[in-house]
Amino acid sequence: MSDEPVRRQVTLANPNGLHLSPISALVKEAMNHEAELLISFDGNIANAKSTMELMLLGATCGAVLSVEATGVDAEVAAEAAVRLLSEP
Amino acid sequence: MQVRSGIPVSPGVVVGPTLVLGSENFRIPRKFVSRDVVESEMVRFHNALDKVCQDIEDHEILVGEQLGSQYAAIFSAHLQMARDPRMVGQVEDAIRNQSNSPEYAVSRTLRKFAEQMQNLGNQYLAERALDIFDLEKRLLRELLGESREELSNLTEPVVILAHDLTPGETAMLNTDYVLGFATEVGGHTSHTAILAGALEIPAVVGLGRCLAGVSGGETVILDGDHGQVVIDPDEATMERFRTSQARNIRVSERLATLETLESETLDGQRVQIFGNIEFPQEVEQCVKRGADGVGLYRTEFLYLGGNKEPTESDHYEAYKQVLSTCGDRPVVIRTLDIGADKVPARIRDRFAESQNPMLGLRSIRLSLQSTPLFKVQLRAILRAAVHGNVRIMFPLVSSLLEFRQAKMILMDVMEDLEDENIEFARDIPIGMMVEVPSAVMLIEEFAREVDFFSIGTNDLIQYTLACDRSDPSVANLYRSGDPSILRMIQAVLKAGEQYGKPVTVCGQMSSDPRFVPLLLGLGLRQISATPHSIPRLKEVVRNISIPEAERIATHACSLDLARDVEHYLLGELGRLCPDLVV
Mean pLDDT lowest among A1-10, A79-88, B567-576: A1-10
Which CATH architecture does the domain made up of B261-580 adopt? Alpha-Beta Barrel (3.20)
Question: With an 8 Å Cβ cutoff, is B113 touching chain A?
Answer: yes
End-to-end CA distance of chain B: 23
Single out the residue of A65, A71, A10, A84 nearest to residue A36, CA to CA.
A71
User: Quick one: pLDDT at residue B167?
Assistant: 62
How many cross-chain Cβ pairs, A to B, lie less than 8 Å apart?
A: 54
% of chain B at pLDDT higher than 90: 52
- Across the interface, of B74, B80, B124, the residue whose CB is closest to A27 is B80
- B149 versus A15: which is more confidently predicted? A15
Instruction: Tell me if residue A33 is catalytic.
Output: no
Looking at residue A54, its pLDDT comes to: 92
- Whole-number pLDDT of residue B554: 97
Query: Containing H/E element for B41?
Result: helix B38-67
Above pLDDT 70, what percent of chain B? 91
pLDDT at B87 over 70: yes
pLDDT at B191: 65
* pLDDT tier, B146 (very low <50, low <70, confident <90, very high otherwise): very low
- Residues ≥6 apart with Cβ < 8 Å to B415: none
Q: Do B124 and A17 touch (CB under 8 A)?
A: yes
Helix, strand, coil content of chain B in percent (nearest 5): 55, 15, 30
Q: What is the mean pLDDT of residues B185-197?
A: 70
Tell me B347's DSSP state: G
Whether B187 shows a pLDDT value over 70: the answer reads no
A17 in any annotated domain: yes
Does a structural domain hold residue A39?
A: yes
Residue B77 to residue A21, Cβ atoms within 8 A: yes
Kindly report the average pLDDT of chain B as a whole number: 87
Query: What confidence tier does B294 reach under pLDDT thresholds 50, 70, 90?
Result: very high
DSSP states along B505-537: EESGGGGSGGGHHHHHHTT--EEEE-GGGHHHH
- pLDDT tens, position by position, B320-355: 999 999 999 999 999 998 875 555 555 555 555 567
pLDDT at B20 over 90: no
Is pLDDT above 90 for B474? no
State the pLDDT confidence band at B557, using cuts at 50, 70 and 90. Answer: very high
- Where does B450-482 have alpha helices with state H? 457-464
Range of the domain at A50: 6-85
Å between B51 CA and nearest CA of chain A = 20
Query: Structural domain tally of chain A?
Result: 1
pLDDT score at B493: 98
Nearest by CB: B125 against A24, A27, A55? A55
Looking at residue B147, its pLDDT comes to 40
The CATH architecture one would assign to domain B35-147 is Orthogonal Bundle (1.10)
What's A69's domain CATH number?
Answer: 3.30.1340.10
For residue range B206-263, list pLDDT tens digits in order: 888 888 778 788 899 999 988 999 999 999 999 988 988 888 888 888 888 888 888 9
Choose among B77, B52, B74, B50: nearest CA to B63.
B74
Greater confidence (B271 vs B303) lies with: B271
Q: What is the DSSP letter of B10?
A: E
Is there a domain that residue A33 lies in? Answer: yes
Question: Smallest Cβ distance to A21: which of B73, B116, B120?
Answer: B73
CB A5 within 8 A of CB A77: no
pLDDT of B148: 37
- Amino acid in the structure at residue B34: S
In angstroms, the separation between the Cα of residue B114 and the nearest Cα of chain A is 9
Tell me the chain A residues in contact with residue B124 when contact means C-beta distances shorter than 8 Å.
Answer: 16-17, 19
Break chain B into its structural domains and give their ranges: 2-25+153-250, 35-147, 261-580
The reply to whether B191 belongs to the active site is yes
pLDDT at B341: 54
Q: Could you give the CA distance from residue B158 to residue B280 in angstroms, rounded to a whole number?
A: 26
Confidence band of B185 (pLDDT split at 50, 70, 90):
confident
Percent of chain A, pLDDT > 70?
Answer: 97
> pLDDT category, A1, cuts 50, 70, 90?
very low
Q: Helices in B355-512 by DSSP H: which ranges?
A: 364-369, 371-384, 400-419, 437-441, 443-449, 457-464, 483-499
* CATH code at B2-25+153-250: 3.50.30.10
A1 domain residue, yes or no: no
How deeply is B304 buried, as exposed, middle or buried, from its count of CB atoms within 10 A (0-12, 13-18, 19+)? buried
